[in-house]
Structure 1
């Protein structure tokens, strides 16, 4: 900042850096501060001495200004560095989030691929099981009267748990049909898990031997009799 002197009605006004204030007041003890116009004012007789002071103090004013500019530059530089550090931190955080998202997406894609493979394998296994069951059903149907088996099974379910002689008679007659048809299957070299259960059920132990729990799948579960 250049020290500036201005002629005013009451004398002279001086404008200079704040750091020169003490030196100025020591030199011009009667100087007054004009707070409205932000300047120091001296009387008309102090003009020459004011010019001499300004000439001598100009170098100091320039040094003060340069120091202030240097300090401001350092502050600006520090602020820029802080902002850059924050930006770099945000970039790194964003990159980490991006990497994690990519990792999760890849894991999800792998899991979906594995799930698709498992579904395909399950579909194939079910299809194979259905084919086996069809073959078993065909085999049993060629040997046994499956309609008679079904009706006898229903009769056992209907009459179990009824404490009447007629119900017991119907239950055992149905059980004889089951045994008869199972004998045909055994003669062919096979045994049915479900039919074996039904023919061995005790009509008086429905708490244990419940015909309702034997399913068609149980009846179609057959094994070959060892020679």
Structure 2
């Protein structure tokens, strides 16, 4: 099972050799059971992780014990990059479903950035995408309704799951508890339940078990508090491929 470079291919046209270099970064894939902690907040930092399969949450535990999920990771993501500048991990990585990751020691990442300056630039672009996501999250929390935030959350998942072949007829699996969704949006599980029912009543979504169908993606987009972010692939400043 290989790590998918599709998120990096969305930023730059990678050659087969470059994709192979990215995929060769990780050690042997490791399986994690649902609920397993991959790395805890405060653990020593010695590397990062390639996300191969499943769903993983990046979360912070505040001094008062509250949990805040910063990011839901899917296949093709790279986990733990914010902590690369720290001695100890800033967040906790938890498997929300059965998941598979591949560990990348720091020295391997450093060697790639030294030997492959173009891939280093693509990695920089990927980090900026993550920064943009956090900017949007900060902009909406406290300034948008729960319905608006949840609409944007569903559209983001739809966009990220589509390249993985996990969206069919605008339907995808959402294997998150209402508590976890509430942690992402910064609301209670009760408020989360009310928000989901509101979107169902408006005939914007439909649920069957864990499956969610977007009945009117265009209406959800109009409801979202921020415009769709369209990536600019192969920017002029990016070093040319060999």
Task: Compare the two structures and name the one with the higher helix fraction.
Answer: 1
TM value normalised by structure 2: 0.19
Task: Compare the two structures and name the one with the higher strand fraction.
Answer: 2
Instruction: Compare relative contact order (CA 8 Å, sep 6+) and give the higher one, 1 or 2.
Output: 2
Bigger Rg over Cα: 1
TM value normalised by structure 1: 0.20
